[in-house]
Amino acid sequence: MGSFGRAGGPAVLGRPGRPARRARPGDGRGTRLRPDRRVRRGPGRDPGRCRLRQAAGPRSDRGSGDSGVPGHRAGHRRHRGLGAHVARHVVRRGAAHVVLAGRRGEAAPGVAALVAELTEAGARVTVAACDCADAAALRAVVEAVPADLPLRAVVHAAGVDTGDAAAPDLTAGGLAELFGPKVGGARALREVTADAPLEVVVLFSSAAATWGGAGQAGYAAANAQLDGMARAWRDTGVPVVSLAWGPWAGQGLAGRDGVADRMRRQGLLPLDPRAAMAALDAALSGGQAVRTVVDVDWERFAPGFTAVRPSPLLAGVPDAARALAPPEPTGPGPAALPAVQRPAAVLDLVRREVAAVLGHPGPADVDPDRSFRDQGFDSMAAVELRDRLRARTGLPLATALVFDHPTPKAVTAHLVAALAPASEPDPSPAAAVDRLESALAAGLPDPAERAPLERRLAAVLDRLRAGDRAYGRDGAPATGGPDDDIRTADVDDLLDIIDAQL
């Protein structure tokens, strides 16, 4: 998800015949991605999360080779991880013969246990050492398949656990390592199975090709090319489907320390292998060349994915639209406070919300002058803080709030300025004196009005000179005694004082 809080992102393709262009921040025009074809939106979802439809029960027909994937020979190209899950699945569904082809063959970790498991389940298993991108070696594997059980289904699950890089840091050698097993393997597979009576071809792609991936430029490109190959291959009449998977539980990058937690914070939940196999079954009957299969928490994913600019890719996903809708304000908030009290109240609010996002006990643990980055903020934390402050203030805050205003104090100043109506005057005493001077310069009052005005100004000046003795803790003028009143009184005021005393 390279677009989380960043101004880059994948290139946006225009109509055929028009050049590709790079999406600009805030620019949603021209995108031609079709969410209904790229995002898995099956039945039975609960709000805010994609659910995968459960598959039908296991098939018992075995070995005939005449009734779909179960009973056919399935060529799998990886001995652990995703390929192993698929091998178990097709055997449960009735496959009589499974060919496991991979670079290390029987020497691959876990392959012996997998073969024993599949054999015990009743399947015949062949293990072949083969570089999947080597067409000659792959042809030898295909030609060794017994004629009585012809090859009818292939699952291409080869790939690398990428140690990829951002686009500017890519090298030709790094791209070759990524494209070789994934794209080169699919190309070789198409070549050597051109005459095989294939009924199913499944290519394992990645959701990185659907929406990009932070630091995964080459990996996303390789999988995007694999998706394109699936479409072209399917156009020849072969039933090919490319499945762009989200993270699997315990597999690949999602299996590394801390990566699964980071993905969860971003809204991508690890797929349970059984649910993934149910999605595989559904995709085989879906009639589409490319399907994206992910388990998404839209409340987290959608705001982060659109942090820099709106995404037409999510426009057709109702759960994403609901997640992006502005929240209702939770109360009157600091806008209802007098202007002089707002800065302190808003700073306290910001510190409380920052503490809540970071899991601190209270606002005292938040340094208002320290940058959000140094306090542990990532893109998802920035989105969460924006949402919380938007709900508390009712302001239409940008997702890039903490990037544009990098400290709690800077955010506070921005909020205070946004909360002040355009017509609200500066409450400071100096600004009030400026306004009085401007009013007097515009035209002196009538002589009859000057004397009372002079007396009031003299009284204010006396209090200013008296300092704290003349003003209470709340800033209001202290109540003066009779002596204070008499000093600044005229004849009428003196008569009023005498009347009051008598």
Higher per-residue pLDDT: 362 or 369 = 369
Least reliable range by pLDDT among 54-63, 72-81, 191-200: 54-63
Residue 372: pLDDT over 80: yes
Higher per-residue pLDDT: 145 or 452 = 145
Q: What is the mean pLDDT of residues 481-492?
A: 55
Asked whether the beta carbons of 76 and 101 are under 8 A apart, the reply is yes
Q: What is the mean pLDDT of residues 434-449?
A: 70
Query: Which of helix, strand or coil describes residue 75?
Result: strand
- CATH homologous superfamily of 50-296: NAD(P)-binding Rossmann-like Domain (3.40.50.720)
Q: How far apart are CA 469 and CA 481, in angstroms?
A: 12
Summarised one tens digit per residue, pLDDT across range 58-75 is: 333 444 332 223 233 344
Residue 444: pLDDT over 80: no
Higher per-residue pLDDT: 356 or 77 = 356
Q: Note whether 50-296 and 333-419 share their fold.
A: no
* Predicted model pTM: 0.59
In this prediction, residue 456 has a pLDDT band, given cuts at 50, 70 and 90, of: confident
> For the sheet containing 73-76, what is the strand order?
124-129, 97-102, 73-76, 151-156, 200-206, 240-245, 290-293
pLDDT value of position 429: 77
pLDDT value of position 500: 56
Higher per-residue pLDDT: 247 or 424 = 247
Residue 7: pLDDT over 70: no
Residue 250: pLDDT over 90: no
Exposed/middle/buried for residue 213 (C-beta within 10 Å: 0-12, 13-18, 19+) = buried
Q: What is the mean pLDDT of residues 400-420?
A: 90
418 backbone dihedrals φ, ψ, rounded to 5°? -75, -30
Least reliable range by pLDDT among 105-114, 326-335, 403-412: 326-335
Asked whether the beta carbons of 265 and 285 are under 8 A apart, the reply is no
Summarised one tens digit per residue, pLDDT across range 109-136 is: 889 999 999 999 998 999 999 888 899 9
Q: What is the mean pLDDT of residues 460-487?
A: 59
The CA–CA distances, whole Å, from 105 to 102, 127, 185, 208, 409 equal 5, 6, 16, 28, 60
53 backbone dihedrals φ, ψ, rounded to 5°? -70, 140
In this prediction, residue 332 has a pLDDT band, given cuts at 50, 70 and 90, of: low
pLDDT value of position 204: 93
pLDDT value of position 486: 54
Spans of all domains in the chain: 50-296, 333-419, 446-501
Higher per-residue pLDDT: 214 or 290 = 290
The CATH number given to 333-419 is: 1.10.1200.10
Residue 23: pLDDT over 60: no
In this prediction, residue 391 has a pLDDT band, given cuts at 50, 70 and 90, of: confident
In this prediction, residue 399 has a pLDDT band, given cuts at 50, 70 and 90, of: confident
- Residue written as token pair 């009712």: 394
Residue 449: pLDDT over 90: no
In this prediction, residue 35 has a pLDDT band, given cuts at 50, 70 and 90, of: very low
Q: What is the mean pLDDT of residues 471-477?
A: 51
In this prediction, residue 333 has a pLDDT band, given cuts at 50, 70 and 90, of: low
pLDDT value of position 325: 78
* Alpha helices in 267-407, H assignment, sequence order: 273-284, 298-305, 318-324, 342-358, 379-393, 401-404
pLDDT value of position 499: 57
Beta bridge partners of 129: 102
Residue 47: pLDDT over 60: no
